[in-house]
Amino acid sequence: MDNKTMLELRDHYDTQGTAPEMENGTWETEVQADPMGTTSLRLPKYLLDWVRAQAESEQVKPTALIRHWIEERRAIGNPPEDVTTRLKRLEDVVFAQRQQAD
């Protein structure tokens, strides 16, 4: 919006009421039980391109697909550790205890 238009709008609303326009308006009285929030998620371009392609193939917006994936993950909870991760964690504990004993 250019400066001239902005000044014209300011002058208009400084001197005119909006009651006639609002006469047939209604107030929103329903409140969402669980309103949406916003977050920013930075992804590498290759990954964002992949998400967009997946969303397009499912005919949804990328943000809706990401939300769906997060909700799915939340529904299943934390999956059990794979064997390699579990073994690494156990080795770390065992070797830490050996080093403390020495």
Instruction: Kindly report the pTM of this predicted structure.
Output: 0.49
Number of helical (H) and strand (E) elements in the chain, helices listed first: 5, 0
Average confidence (pLDDT) over 22-36? 86
Transcribe 18-52 into DSSP letters: -HHHHTT--------SS----------HHHHHHHH
Give residue 20's identity as a one-letter amino acid code: P
- Residue 102 in this model has a pLDDT that exceeds 70: no
pLDDT of the residue at 74? 85
pLDDT of the residue at 56? 97
CA 72 from chain center: how many Å? Answer: 15
Buried b (16+ CB within 10 A) or exposed e, 21-55: eeeeeeeeeeeeeeeeeeeeeeeeeeeeeebeeeb
- The CA distance from 94 to 26, in Å, is 67
pLDDT of the residue at 24? 87
Average confidence (pLDDT) over 63-90? 86
